[in-house]
Amino acid sequence: MIGWLRHQKHAFTAALRRLGAQPVASLLTALAMGVAISLPGGLFLALGNLDRLAGDLPAQPEISVFLDTGASSVQKQAIAERLRQPDIAEARYVPKDEALAALSSAQDLADITAGLTQNPLPNAWVVRPQTMSREELVRVAGALGKLPGVAETHLDSQWADRLQAALAIGRTGVWLLAGLFAVALVAISGNAIRAQVLARRDEILVSRLIGATDRYIRRPFLYVGALQGLLGGLAAGGVLAIAGVILRAPVEQLAGLYGSAFHLLPPATIEIVAVLGLTALFGWLGAWLSVTRALRQVEAAR
Amino acid sequence: MISFSQVTKRYPGGHEALSGVDLSIEKGELVFLTGHSGAGKSTLLKLVAAIERPTGGVVSVSGQNVGRLPQRAIPYLRRNIGLIFQDHKLLFDRNVIENVVLPLDIAGLDRRESLKRARAVIDKVGLLKREKANPISLSGGEQQRLCIARALVSRPALLLADEPTGNLDAGYAADIMAMFRDFHQVGTTLVIATHDDRAIAALGGRTLRLDHGKVEEGSA
């Protein structure tokens, strides 16, 4: 165990020395990896923030039932009766004056609404059905829409559903993209390590002659690959942090225009650790593939 | 310790370096290999260290059939063999002490102990003042001594030397031979390929003469 630890320490120190001996090449490799990681990483963060935005929307679907302007009091009474049935969990009447007042205050439209000669909004009910099933909601909304005195119904969760569906597609896309960039990461690391193995051909041959195993020879290269992956992950973090700083103000301004206090959130600590771990792993994998192949070539050329 | 039974080594292209060689070297023995250039001395040493595999016959070292040794076992065999190469095989991207300490790093020894042992052996070959020097700045003779130091540092049970005094002046050659004698006296098996008659005369030991791939017992 002590011998194994000594070998690890020796290989890690050798890897640090090798990276330090070629600072520009190491930096360029890390930057190439960083750029490759920052694209899926940025999309992942963007989706996370959009997901959060969608999460702020009402979790329970609502149906807005807009009444005909000419609805009679009998029809209104019948509608109120229907909304007391067991399939409706809650129903709140919103008179048109209240709707106009809410519209004016919520979306800073006071100037426009003040200029109106009459209130164009209809009286309405905001209804929360018992069911959460999409098909049932559509059925209830359809049934309410057919009631005499009802002008129109609107299932309020519709756009949130569409956003969630789009986010699901986006998430799948990000994972596919991340897979592709992981392959790119392995290739970048492998290529950098291959060049190092060939540059150290003599050292490898001599080490083999005096008793080095392939595992011993391979180990420092694996550490170099893992460290380069880690540096690539940190570089990607830097790129995303800069992008976050640049985008923060415009995003908050846009959200403010919609009356929202939404702001961009940085990734969670666990996400940062996971990404750094993965980039180090892919760097290690690229190094392993490359050094194993190169060692075979060095042996064959001997 | 070492035995060859009907060993043949034919290189790609057809050159037969060794032809039906039978020999036996006991543990603790000192053996010189002599013969003209191309007689097969280096090939014989390479077969012992599993750098080459025999085309036919059996090469045995410490009871192991080296020719059939799996690739993964060869490094462990070589850790018990000190190799002194004609062309030194030094690493020019590290200094003298780092070259010498390499076999101990490979063996996983404590770094402090490794450096202590490396300095002791560097002192023995007269390079202590140059321990931080790059081998490229050393003369041919100094490079040879550095190669010897690297071979000796792991205190191998078997030392194989290919023309170890070829690049040394008479004084240093005598010092190196004295070191070999010390190692021989503590039980190390030495097989030395050399043209140096003075060294053979100084150390005594057994001489095997190689001629066109055949081995015969003889005197220098």
Domain count, chain B: 2
Please state the rounded mean pLDDT for residues A106-117: 68
Residue B164 lies in a domain: yes
**Number of helices and strands in chain B (H, E):** 7, 10
For A212, the closest of B51, B83, B106 (CB atoms) is B106
- Identify the three-state secondary structure at position B207: strand
Confidence of residue A159 (pLDDT cuts 50, 70, 90): low
* B162 & B217 share domain: yes
Residue B13 lies in a domain: no
Chain A residues within an 8 Å CB radius of B89: 205-206, 209
Q: At what angle do helices A201-209 and A269-301 cross, to 10 degrees?
A: 70
Domains of chain A: 2-57+161-301 (no CATH), 63-156 (3.30.70.3040)
For B83, the closest of A3, A203, A210 (CB atoms) is A210
* B70 & B161 share domain: yes
Chain B residues within an 8 Å CB radius of A204: none
**pLDDT tens for each residue of chain B, 220 residues long:** 899 999 999 988 888 889 888 999 999 999 999 988 888 899 999 999 999 999 999 999 988 899 888 988 999 999 999 999 888 899 998 999 999 999 999 988 888 999 999 999 999 888 999 999 999 999 888 888 899 899 989 989 899 999 888 767 777 778 778 888 888 888 889 999 988 777 788 778 899 998 888 888 765 4
Selected residue with higher pLDDT from A296 and B132? B132
Distance from CA of B105 to the nearest CA of A (A): 8
pLDDT at A101 over 70: yes
CB atoms within 10 A of CB A132: 11
Tens digits of residue pLDDT in A4-52: 888 888 889 888 988 888 888 888 888 888 888 888 888 888 888 877 7
- In this structure, chain A runs to a length of 302
Q: Please check whether residue A209 touches B, CB under 8 A.
A: yes
Which of B103, B121, B155 delimits the end of a domain?
B155
Which of B129, B155, B181 delimits the end of a domain?
B155
- Identify the three-state secondary structure at position A64: strand
Phi/psi at B151 (nearest 5 deg)? -70, -30
Residue B112 lies in a domain: yes
Paired tokens of B216: 């015969």
B contact test, residue of A6, A8, A210, A298 with most B CBs within 10 A: A210
Paired tokens of A226: 């893992």
* B148 & B160 share domain: no
Nearest CA in chain A to B93: A203
- In this structure, chain B runs to a length of 220
Per DSSP, what are the bridge partners of residue A158?
none
Residue B116 lies in a domain: yes
Q: Please check whether residue A199 touches B, CB under 8 A.
A: no
Supply the range of the domain harboring residue B126. Answer: 91-155
Handedness of CA A134, A140, A141, A143 (dihedral sign): positive
Q: What is the pLDDT of residue A45?
A: 85
Q: Please check whether residue A115 touches B, CB under 8 A.
A: no
* B75 & B125 share domain: no
For B78, the closest of A3, A7, A211 (CB atoms) is A211
Q: What is the pLDDT of residue B100?
A: 96
Residue B15 lies in a domain: no
**Alpha-carbon dihedral A276, A281, A284, A285, rounded to 10 degrees:** -140
| Closest C-alpha to B96, from B149, B166, B141 | B149
* B161 & B220 share domain: yes
Paired tokens of B217: 């017992």
Instruction: Determine, for residues B79 and A211 on separate chains, whether the beta-carbon distance falls below 8 Å.
Output: yes
Strand A63-67 relative to strand B214-218, pairing: unpaired
Chain B residues within an 8 Å CB radius of A205: 89
Average pLDDT, chain A: 85
- Identify the three-state secondary structure at position B190: strand
Confidence of residue A219 (pLDDT cuts 50, 70, 90): very high
**Burial call A250-269: b when 16+ CB within 10 Å, e when fewer:** eeeeeeeeeeeebebeebee
Residue B85 lies in a domain: no
Q: What is the pLDDT of residue A108?
A: 62
Please give the share of chain A, as a percent, with pLDDT higher than 90: 27
Contact B100, B128 (CB under 8 A): no
Q: What is the pLDDT of residue A6?
A: 82
Residue B5 lies in a domain: no
Q: Please check whether residue B129 touches A, CB under 8 A.
A: no
**Number of helices and strands in chain A (H, E):** 10, 4
Q: Please check whether residue B111 touches A, CB under 8 A.
A: yes
Interacting residues of B131 by C-beta distance below 8 A, sequence separation 6+:
B95, B96, B97, B119, B122
* B165 & B200 share domain: yes
| Reported ipTM | 0.86
Residue that the structure tokens 């694996």 belong to: A222
Q: Please check whether residue B116 touches A, CB under 8 A.
A: no
Instruction: Determine, for residues A212 and B75 on separate chains, whether the beta-carbon distance falls below 8 Å.
Output: yes
* B73 & B107 share domain: no
Q: What is the pLDDT of residue B38?
A: 82
* B145 & B47 share domain: no
Which of B155, B175, B209 delimits the end of a domain?
B155
* B128 & B141 share domain: yes
* B74 & B177 share domain: yes
Tens digits of residue pLDDT in A49-94: 877 776 555 556 788 999 998 889 899 999 999 999 988 988 999 9
Q: Please check whether residue B76 touches A, CB under 8 A.
A: yes
Residue B4 lies in a domain: no
What is the Cα–Cα distance from A172 to A178, expressed in whole angstroms? 10
DSSP B155: -
Q: Please check whether residue A5 touches B, CB under 8 A.
A: no
* B151 & B163 share domain: no
Tens digits of residue pLDDT in A190-202: 988 888 888 888 8
Q: How far apart, in Å, are the Cα atoms of B59 and each of A166, B28, B31, B192, B210? A: 71, 18, 17, 17, 17
What is the Cα–Cα distance from B204 to B220, expressed in whole angstroms? 10
For B89, the closest of A7, A206, A213 (CB atoms) is A206
* B168 & B150 share domain: no
Residue B27, domain CATH: 3.40.50.300
